[in-house]
């Protein structure tokens, strides 16, 4: 099929993508600036199908947020609460373990565990939580704690990030989710999350995790105060670390949801920019295998469209999502496995249930085996 490219800036990029060559920072900025979303989609889909054909991955997972108490007070966030806020909650260990087993009967393969930066919960408490989960759910992968949580716990425990990660790994942590990266540019980061670790510290924590053999995801928060250069810089820095460690599994672009945050005057992102962020990522991140269209964030309909614009993954069943719903998300809090299958098929793609590390999962009734 001969696709007409309206934007002349995309012609040399097209040649490079077709030849499988790496795109530069300048190319990234041009991709973010182009209004030619269909040409962008064509190129991103070319790469997506080269890597994965029509396969579209999802998993059966459950989110657990043990606490929303957070000392950071980031302007981007509607989830974190001060310790004395009457609306704040902190689960006991028993509650975490009980919550993990609740919800739908479908056997989960992953717990996705993240929370606020609590001023009192200790590293030992989190290790106990992990050990208790592993004991009760030995077959479930524990994807737990953002780089920000790891760095915070290391500082509070007065030990290195390496030792913190080693202790958590030994307690049962299998990999790390991609949150907390936000945007690496210091000017913008200072405004949206000034009490968090900076971009270099986020990358260094990921580097150490990868060196210890732990895989992780990575994210970028867009649609607030950042510009095209900031976004491209973020992707290029993730790509450089990936060249070094090969530790990132999936990249997830996260659209800023402003409701109930101090930045609620900022308008919501459009479907156009959500799709564009998927496509540019697929083209720039030539060394990260998977691009996730997080359906909670994008809405299921836009996530379906994203599957033709570079994304090959939709995330999972989730069961109970809080971070985006506190910030005004109108999507449901979870989705059944059968609904995800249908969503992917209706988008003209081939669903593949995966575990956290993208090994196919085969189900018989309510049990599952990971095919290695």
Choosing from 57, 152, 294, 368, the residue that interacts with ligand V47 (CB under 6 A) is 294
Q: Please tell me the count of residues contacting ligand V47 according to CB under 6 A.
A: 22
Choosing from 57, 256, 295, 309, the residue that interacts with ligand V47 (CB under 6 A) is 256
* CB closer to ligand V47 out of 182 and 312: 182
What sign for the dihedral angle of Cα 185, 189, 194, 200?
negative
Choosing from 13, 76, 147, 293, the residue that interacts with ligand V47 (CB under 6 A) is 76
| Coil vs helix vs strand at 22 | coil
- Decide if residue 230 touches ligand V47 (CB under 6 A): no
* Positions in 173-202 near ligand V47 (CB under 6 A): 177-180, 182
- Decide if residue 290 touches ligand V47 (CB under 6 A): no
Bridge-based pairing of strands 367-370 and 361-364 is antiparallel
**Six token digits for residue 236:** 């290029």
Choosing from 327, 335, 343, 352, the residue that interacts with ligand V47 (CB under 6 A) is 327
Nearest alpha-carbon partner for 141 in 85, 195, 217: 217
Task: Give the chain's largest Cα–Cα span.
Answer: 61
Dist CA 54 CA 57 (whole Å): 10
Alpha-carbon dihedral 169, 173, 179, 180, rounded to 10 degrees? -40
Q: What kind and span of H or E run contains 17?
A: helix 10-18
Dist CA 31 CA 135 (whole Å): 48
Secondary structure E strands in 9-95: 55-59, 61-64
- Least distance between ligand V47 and beta carbon 233 (Å): 17
Contact pattern for ligand V47 over residues 306 through 325, marking x by CB under 6 A: ---------x-------x--
Dist CA 266 CA 264 (whole Å): 5
* CB closer to ligand V47 out of 27 and 313: 313
- Decide if residue 78 touches ligand V47 (CB under 6 A): yes
* Positions in 104-163 near ligand V47 (CB under 6 A): 146
- Least distance between ligand V47 and beta carbon 110 (Å): 9
* CB closer to ligand V47 out of 34 and 217: 217
Enter the DSSP assignment of 3: P
Q: Which residues bind ligand V47 (CB under 6 A)?
A: 76-79, 146, 177-180, 182, 217, 219, 221, 252, 254, 256-257, 261, 294, 315, 323, 327
């Amino acid at each position: 099929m001969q696709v007409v490219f309206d934007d002349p800036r995309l012609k040399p990029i097209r040649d490079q993508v077709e030849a499988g060559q790496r795109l530069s920072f300048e190319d990234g900025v041009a991709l973010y600036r182009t209004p030619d979303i269909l040409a962008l989609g064509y190129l991103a889909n070319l790469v997506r199908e080269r890597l994965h054909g029509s396969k579209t991955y999802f998993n059966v997972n459950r989110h657990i947020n043990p606490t929303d108490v957070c000392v950071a007070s980031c302007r981007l966030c509607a989830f974190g609460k001060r310790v004395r806020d009457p609306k704040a909650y902190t689960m006991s260990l028993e509650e975490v373990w009980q919550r993990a087993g609740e919800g739908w009967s479908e056997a989960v393969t992953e717990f996705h565990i993240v929370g606020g930066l609590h001023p009192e919960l200790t590293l030992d408490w989190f290790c106990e939580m992990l050990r208790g989960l592993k004991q009760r759910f030995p077959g479930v992968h524990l994807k737990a704690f953002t780089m920000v949580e790891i760095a915070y716990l290391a500082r509070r425990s007065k030990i290195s990030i390496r030792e913190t990660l080693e202790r958590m790994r030994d307690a049962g942590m299998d990999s790390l989710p991609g949150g907390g990266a936000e945007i690496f540019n210091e000017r913008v980061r200072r405004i949206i999350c000034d009490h968090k670790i900076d971009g270099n510290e986020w990358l260094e924590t990921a580097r150490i995790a990868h060196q210890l053999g732990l895989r992780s995801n990575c994210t970028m928060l867009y649609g607030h105060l950042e510009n095209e250069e900031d976004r491209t810089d973020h992707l290029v820095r993730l790509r450089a670390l990936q060249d070094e460690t090969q530790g990132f599994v999936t990249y997830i672009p996260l659209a800023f949801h402003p409701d109930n945050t101090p930045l609620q005057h900022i308008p919501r992102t459009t479907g156009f920019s959500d799709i564009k962020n998927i496509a540019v990522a697929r083209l720039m991140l030539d060394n990260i295998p998977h691009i996730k269209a997080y359906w909670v964030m994008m809405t299921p309909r836009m996530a379906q469209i994203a599957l033709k614009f570079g994304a090959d993954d939709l995330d999972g069943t989730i069961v109970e999502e809080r971070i985006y719903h506190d910030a005004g998300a109108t999507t449901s809090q979870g989705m059944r496995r059968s609904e995800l299958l249908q969503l992917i098929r209706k988008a003209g793609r081939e669903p593949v249930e995966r575990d956290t590390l993208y090994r196919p999962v085969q189900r018989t009734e309510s049990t599952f085996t990971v095919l290695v």
